[in-house]
Structure 1
Amino acid sequence: MIRTLTLALLVALQVLPARATDLAWQALKTDGAVAILRHARAPGTGDPPEFRLGECATQRNLSEEGRAQARRIGAAFRQEGVRVGAVLSSRWCRGLDTARLAFGEATPFPPLDSFFAAGDRAAQTAALRERIAAWNGPGALVLVTHQVNITALTEIFPSEGEVLVLRPRPDGSVTVVGRVTP
């Protein structure tokens, strides 16, 4: 009896994450869906002291692994049949590069800029909530940003390249529908 229950629990633990991933992908296939993702692998933390917006050589950038990861993210969206309606990105090079490698395009959106060292967390998060609430499609809205921005919005600390599927709530907050790491 205990052996049967243990086996059933092990099977459930293997199936539940797969089911949760399936539900996240399904949610992304509906008009008005929102995906927010942390930029792909960029070794280190923060940016060098000489950081300048628009000058990638002064920033922490994607590694080759990160560039490959960004391409895999886009491939996963295509393989899952997710129709992308718009792609907004932080103006940091690692965000723009992730978006362009994954989806072929990126519109810079300042509220997605990192506020790790500077910026206005409250104002940027409020502007991001407004943009998410206003999205109706067609297709999914993809937001490429940084860990601090995602954590401020969702209280989740995402991995590099991790996608969170969001649903706006009437009070301006968001519900995390699921998480995907392509």
Structure 2
Amino acid sequence: MIRIASLLLVLLLNPLVSFVAPANATEAGWALLREGGHVVLLRHAYAAGTTDAPRIDLDDCRTQRGLSDRGKQQARRLGSLIAARAQPVVEVYTSRYCRTRETADLAFGSSLVTDLPALDPTGDQAAQEAAKNEILSLVEGFTRSGNLVFVTHDDVIRSLTGSGAREGEAVIVRRSPEGLHIAARIIFN
């Protein structure tokens, strides 16, 4: 009987443990954004499909994966939460892809959003290194009291930090000698 009770206790507590870690990570992220002066790498919200067309035209959203209805709701929600729980977002840079631009516009309003080609994914190693340097330069030069947001893609975030992000996840970063160090994450469900 004691073994069964112990097993049940372990099974009941195990799911709780898995929920505590993301919540703590998320709260640490909110604490940083409340301070202001931080940089956020935000992966675009939920997008429909799994791949883009073989030939993408950045001016034609029909050739790209777009935000799903769920993604549009997620973008609005994350923008509302950031506005309510953090210092103001003072600058937003976005990839030129439609799903990133729409995420940025829905979350922060188009008046704050600036296209930054360096945030576009690229398969070319030299172009990727040049883009990374441009982004690092912007991060290094950011000294305002509000927060700076880059809306981009998983592979760009992975290139900058060595770690990926879920769709709609915010990764708060700090500059380090090796590049960008992840200070915290905010997961928007």
**Counterpart for residue 114 of structure 1:** 121
Q: What pairs with 1:86-125 in structure 2 (closer than 5 Å)? A: 86-105=91-110, 106-116=113-123, 120-125=127-132
Distance 1:101 1:119, change over 3 A: farther
Distance 1:14 1:57, change over 3 A: closer
Query: Greater share of helix residues, 1 or 2?
Result: 2
Give the match's secondary structure for 1:159: coil
Give the match's secondary structure for 1:20: helix
Give the match's secondary structure for 2:183: strand
Q: What pairs with 1:24-35 in structure 2 (closer than 5 Å)? A: 24-35=29-40
Match of 1:181 among 172, 181, 187: 187
Give the match's secondary structure for 2:35: coil
- Alignment of 1:53 onto 2:58: yes
* Identity across matched positions, percent: 36
TM-score (norm 1): 0.86
Question: Shift in Å at residue 159 of structure 1?
Answer: 0.8
- Aligned partners of 1:129 and 1:172 also within 8 Å: no
What CA RMSD, in Å, does the superposition of the two structures yield over aligned residues? 2.5
Match of 2:49 among 29, 44, 52: 44
Question: Shift in Å at residue 18 of structure 1?
Answer: 2.5
Distance 1:118 1:14, change over 3 A: closer
Q: Gaps spanning 5+ residues in structure 1: where?
A: none
TM-score (norm 2): 0.83
Question: Shift in Å at residue 16 of structure 1?
Answer: 4.2
**Separation (CA, whole Å) in 1 of partners of 2:24 and 2:164:** 22
Distance 1:174 1:46, change over 3 A: same
Distance 1:14 1:65, change over 3 A: closer
Instruction: Count the aligned residue pairs.
Output: 179
Question: Shift in Å at residue 173 of structure 1?
Answer: 1.2
Question: Shift in Å at residue 32 of structure 1?
Answer: 2.1
